[in-house]
Amino acid sequence: MADIIQLLPDHVANQIAAGEVVQRPASVVKELLENAIDAGADTIKLIIKDAGKTLVQVIDNGKGMSPTDARLSFERHATSKIKSAEDLFQLHTKGFRGEALASIAAIAHVELKTKQASNDVGNTLVIEGSHVVSQDVVVTPTGTSVAVKNLFFNIPARRNFLKSDTVELRHVVDEFYRVALAHPSISFVMYNNGSESFNLPISNYRQRIVNIFGNKTNEKLVPVDEDTEVLKISGFVGKPEFAKKSRGEQYFFVNDRFIKSAYLNHAIASAFEGLLKPGMHASYFLNLQVDPQSIDINIHPTKTEIKFDDEHTLYAILRAAVKHSLGQFNIAPVLDFERDPNLDTPYNYKETVISTPKVEVDRSFNPFNDASQPAVSSTQRSSHTSSFSRQEGHKSSSDWEGLYVGLESKSNESEADFSEVEFESEEETLSIFNGDHQVEQTHTTYQLHNKYIVSTIKSGMLIIDQFRAHQRVLYEEFLRNMTSREGVSQQLLFPLQLHFSPQDIDIVNQLKADLEHTGFVFSNVDEELVEITGVPVNVPESEVSIILEQLISDVEHEVPDSNFSATDLLAKSMAKSLAIKTGQSLQKDEQEHLVNKLFACKDPNVSPANRVTFVTMSVDELDKKFI
């Protein structure tokens, strides 16, 4: 009988390998960023279009490649990083398999430009589905640019399998965070659809964390430093009072590589024992430096797990180090409005057991009293109140005494703690308009690059990120609706039928009650079909399926355990889907409305994802620039 075994042609083998290495645009981001770091770059630019589906480009100022290496780099198992098996145990680079570029080139259109410092000109190479289309000499700066276009162009099934842009972008940003956090000594810039989303200068670790997660993170961080023979730990843990319901901000890096380790995570959780409420997760950003010989990372290319020789010792040292830091910095849960009212107030009154905060209230304060009224025009004023009145009815000044009383009484189990939310909202509103930030009677707004809204304030100017600001506004609105269960819904002319997988239906069922509180009306949910007859006002019918898809994926993506706050996630997710996006032009009155709504929020300073919503620039600062 004839022989039947054949060697697969390279491009087929590469396509198969690509299935392992490249699952989604974020995988490409990871591989390209890591190559740039391995090339010794100190400035790295990431450019994303359509969540990476159309373009992922990484430009670095690293050492570049010779013309021959440029061609070779796309061959499978072509690497400059190891020469023999022994090198595997002394890894100082991210890459070593020599698979990434070959795999990526098998399933996308790739354009490489690269130049070494010693050469005057560089080389450019175009490869489409493993076939070299062209190689030319080109004038280009020292370093390398790899542009990956039309991912999965030749595998439609994989392309269709990709999630919505929002979800894919989330993965891309997660990957970007991981790499950027591991390398504060490299400057990173990320552009998404033409606008800059991150600009992270070279800095120390604390600054890098703050630059990514927002200014407020700074005060949450407790340093951890431990230097032992087997392990060097540096980094930060989040103070217990800032613990989260989701595991979002938990980062371990081993020798500058992001890893996941349930075991080490447990070490930290146990160091926090007694300091956290059940179901809450502490944040951490920890770098572990170990002897490369004592770890084994030679497993699956996309896996973030790692094997340590002596896990028990690491566990003990890590736990002790974190405990020590928490003790040393005298961390005890504090709820004190004086310190920072924005950060301490949990939203989910109906789900959370809340200990009554110590509040110092100025009882003589009356916001409707002219003398203490902030300098806001009456129309603005009424628009603040009207944003609350849908849920709560307009509060006359005499209601205010009642609000204070509500705050005094113990109100742990009550669902009707809404008065607190209201009270804080108003208080926050006032404080932002006080003193320095006082808004002029005749303030005008204008829109910059369809992205920012600029307005005058007494001390100078205010610049608001429209997308983040609107998310904040919507987020608080949805939370209020859900907490008060008073979302208003609009009836659909024809019921909307949406198909989902059984797993996704499970999630819909889980969130159904909360969705109903926002104004959704479900006439039927069976094994794979959801029928909707009503949606919240302001939610266009065309957005419904996107919102649900986003929501389901957020739940899948974000929340591994059952202790999550469905309401919070739902509100965040819907706010994200529905907010005015960057690039959308706004009328004058829309701009003003957004500004006013933002400052009527309980926590106007940050978006639901904890990113800065606005910055101010004082006349003094401007003056300095004109010296």
Positions that interact with ligand ADP (CB under 6 A): 31, 35-36, 38-39, 60, 62-65, 73, 78-81, 95-102, 144
- Name the binder of 466 from Mg ion, ligand ADP, none, CB < 5-8 A by kind: none
CA distance 559 to 556: 6
CB nearer to ligand ADP: pick between 10 and 541: 10
The minimum distance between CB 144 and ligand ADP, in angstroms, equals 4
Residue among 250, 217, 211 at smallest CA distance from 343: 217
Q: What is the DSSP string of 18-66?
A: HHHH-SSHHHHHHHHHHHHHHTT-SEEEEEEEGGGTSEEEEEE-S----
CB nearer to ligand ADP: pick between 39 and 48: 39
The minimum distance between CB 117 and ligand ADP, in angstroms, equals 12
- Name the binder of 62 from Mg ion, ligand ADP, none, CB < 5-8 A by kind: ligand ADP
Report residue 33 as tokens. 């960023």
HEC secondary structure over 413-424: CCCCCHHHHHHH
- Name the binder of 465 from ligand ADP, Mg ion, none, CB < 5-8 A by kind: none
Q: Give me the residue whose beta carbon is nearest to ligand ADP.
A: 95
Phi, psi for 157 (deg, rounded to 5): -60, -40
- 363, HSE (Cβ side, Cα atoms, 13 Å): 6
The minimum distance between CB 594 and ligand ADP, in angstroms, equals 41
The minimum distance between CB 301 and ligand ADP, in angstroms, equals 9
The minimum distance between CB 68 and ligand ADP, in angstroms, equals 11
- Name the binder of 554 from Mg ion, ligand ADP, none, CB < 5-8 A by kind: none
Distance of CA 148 to the CA centre of its chain: 23
The CA–CA distances, whole Å, from 261 to 251, 273, 516, 530 equal: 10, 18, 37, 37
CB nearer to Mg ion: pick between 21 and 190: 21
Where do contacts with Mg ion occur on this chain (CB under 5 A)? 35, 95, 100
CB nearer to ligand ADP: pick between 13 and 609: 13
CB nearer to ligand ADP: pick between 36 and 479: 36
The minimum distance between CB 32 and Mg ion, in angstroms, equals 8
307-308 and 489-499: which strand pairing? unpaired
CA distance 242 to 238: 7
Residue among 109, 193, 192, 190 at smallest CA distance from 151: 109
350: left (phi over 0), alpha (psi -120 to 50) or beta: alpha
- Name the binder of 14 from Mg ion, ligand ADP, none, CB < 5-8 A by kind: none
- Name the binder of 36 from ligand ADP, Mg ion, none, CB < 5-8 A by kind: ligand ADP
**Residues 566, 514: contact at Cβ < 8 Å?**
yes
CB nearer to ligand ADP: pick between 128 and 592: 128
The minimum distance between CB 222 and ligand ADP, in angstroms, equals 36
**Residues 165, 549: contact at Cβ < 8 Å?**
no
- Name the binder of 318 from Mg ion, ligand ADP, none, CB < 5-8 A by kind: none
The minimum distance between CB 175 and ligand ADP, in angstroms, equals 15
CB nearer to ligand ADP: pick between 45 and 517: 45
Q: What is the Cα gyration radius of the chain? A: 27
CB nearer to Mg ion: pick between 102 and 180: 102
